[in-house]
């Protein structure tokens, strides 16, 4: 639903088929797009009209779906996180490798225009090295309607797999080097929603740079006040909506009723949101370089230099998620995939697991499966 507005307007995308278990979704699809609405992944994998598939199914289903589709020769865009377990991530990367198809992990907020623009500024060398990055985000994530497995860490629930992966993707892209080790503390303090809802983590990088990320999905405070009052999806916040998630949840009496509330937001059950006017974002990010600090906002990049300040508006784009679709297009048509490959997604997932492990064991966790995006020679998974 969140990527649909961008799919509709992208000149390089023709939506030709879908797979959905719900009849309502399939009917809505054929009514809007025509084409083929399949009931199973296998049928979609065999559809000759399909060149690439966007897998937006629940995390724990990614492996099965990706494996079937890769065998069918489809290029894949897989929603973050790539999978829940590292074994599943490995299997997905291997399946795409074996089939010779492109695999991109996204959309994630590392595709946001201000993040990509900041990465280019950093790569130009004008600010010197990146030394430290700080990101924070305070949301009501844990109180939005959830399916039961979204509140069970073992099934990929909680904020580490869904939310930390965004912050990790963003800082990895900005840093440009390989992450080396992680220390973290997590919080799971609402017994009615028994999964991690908050964390703070430190991530070390090659060369001694480090990042710190802090997230609360229990938040009352809304860090979007630091982002021009623009929400994660690039739209202006409604001040009258304060406390909306908690208020709505207070009217729900069972997990089934809550899951029902969530399914009303599925394709075919309600309208997709309109195309957002601003870039998406994932909370304030400050990048400290030798000769400047860069502060990312949904409107662009504040450059705080040695003696002067400047503001560079984010480049205009047709939709907030244009970059990920552009990435998929260039991978398939020009063989030039974006940084966010399968191996990239696996590396971010490894950091999510390291956050959980560090918090559990009270020890730093070393990383083994990290990639960096600077090299154009990075193999496509």
Q: Which is nearer to its own copies, 122 or 339 (CB)?
A: 122
Q: Which stretch binds its own copies (CB under 8 A): 90-98, 145-153, 268-276, 359-367?
A: 359-367
Quick check: 141 binds its own copies (CB under 8 A)?
A: no
Span 101-140, contacts to its own copies by CB under 8 A: 129, 131-132, 134, 136, 138
Determine which residue in the list 229, 256, 290, 360 makes contact with its own copies, applying CB under 8 A.
290
- Please tell me the chain's helix, strand, coil percentages from 3-state DSSP, rounded to the nearest 5: 40, 20, 40
Quick check: 29 binds its own copies (CB under 8 A)?
A: no
From the number of C-beta atoms within 10 Å of its C-beta (0-12, 13-18, 19+), residue 2 rates as middle
Name the phi and psi angles at 131, rounded to 5: -110, -35
Span 172-201, contacts to its own copies by CB under 8 A: 181, 183-185, 187, 189-190, 198, 200-201
Minimum CB separation from its own copies for residue 159, in Å? 12
Q: Which stretch binds its own copies (CB under 8 A): 7-15, 157-165, 203-211, 272-280?
A: 203-211
For residues 113 and 301, give the distance between their C-alpha atoms in angstroms, rounded to a whole number: 10
Q: Is-cis flag, bond preceding 5, omega within 30?
A: no
CB atoms inside a 10 Å sphere around CB 208: 11
For the CA atoms of 184, 159, 280, 63, what is the dihedral angle to 10 degrees? 110
Span 270-289, contacts to its own copies by CB under 8 A: 286, 288
For residues 248 and 246, give the distance between their C-alpha atoms in angstroms, rounded to a whole number: 5
Quick check: 243 binds its own copies (CB under 8 A)?
A: yes
For residues 65 and 59, give the distance between their C-alpha atoms in angstroms, rounded to a whole number: 10
Give me Rg for the CA atoms of the chain: 20
Quick check: 214 binds its own copies (CB under 8 A)?
A: yes
* Site residues, its own copies (CB under 8 A): 129, 131-132, 134, 136, 138, 181, 183-185, 187, 189-190, 198, 200-202, 204, 208-212, 214, 216, 218-222, 226, 242-243, 246-247, 286, 288, 290, 292-293, 295, 302, 304-309, 358, 362-364
């Amino acid at each position: 639903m969140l990527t649909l507005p961008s799919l509709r307007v992208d000149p390089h995308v023709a939506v030709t088929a879908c797979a959905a278990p719900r009849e309502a979704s399939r009917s809505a699809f054929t009514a809007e797009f025509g084409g083929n609405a399949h009931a199973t992944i296998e049928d979609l994998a065999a559809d000759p009209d399909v060149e690439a598939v966007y897998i937006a199914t629940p995390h724990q289903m990614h492996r099965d779906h990706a494996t079937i589709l890769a065998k069918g020769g489809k290029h894949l865009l897989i929603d973050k996180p790539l999978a829940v377990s590292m074994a599943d991530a490995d299997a997905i990367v291997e399946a795409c490798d074996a089939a010779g198809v492109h695999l991109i992990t996204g959309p994630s907020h590392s595709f946001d225009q201000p993040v990509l623009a900041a990465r280019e500024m950093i790569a130009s060398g004008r600010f010197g090295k990146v030394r430290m990055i700080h990101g924070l985000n305070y949301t009501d994530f844990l109180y939005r309607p959830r399916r039961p497995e979204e509140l069970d860490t073992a099934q990929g629930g909680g904020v580490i797999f869904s939310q930390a992966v965004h912050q990790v993707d963003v800082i990895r892209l900005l840093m440009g080097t390989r992450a080396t080790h992680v220390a973290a503390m997590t919080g799971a303090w609402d017994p009615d929603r028994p999964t991690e809802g908050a964390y703070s983590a430190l991530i070390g990088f090659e060369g001694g740079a480090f990042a710190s990320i802090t997230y609360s999905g229990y938040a009352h405070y809304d860090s979007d006040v630091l982002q021009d009052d623009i929400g994660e999806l690039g739209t202006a916040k409604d001040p009258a909506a304060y406390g909306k998630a908690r208020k709505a949840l207070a009217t729900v009496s069972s997990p089934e009723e809550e899951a029902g509330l969530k399914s009303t937001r599925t394709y075919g059950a309600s309208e997709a949101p309109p195309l957002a006017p601003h870039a998406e974002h994932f909370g304030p990010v400050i990048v400290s370089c030798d000769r400047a600090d860069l502060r990312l906002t949904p409107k662009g990049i504040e450059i705080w230099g040695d003696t002067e300040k400047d503001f560079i508006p984010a480049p205009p784009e047709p939709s907030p998620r244009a970059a990920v679709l552009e990435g998929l297009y260039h991978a398939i048509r020009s063989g030039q995939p974006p940084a966010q490959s399968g191996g990239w997604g696996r590396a971010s997932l490894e950091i999510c697991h390291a956050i959980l492990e560090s918090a559990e064991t009270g020890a730093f966790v070393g990383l083994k499966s990290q990639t960096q995006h600077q090299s154009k020679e990075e193999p496509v998974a």
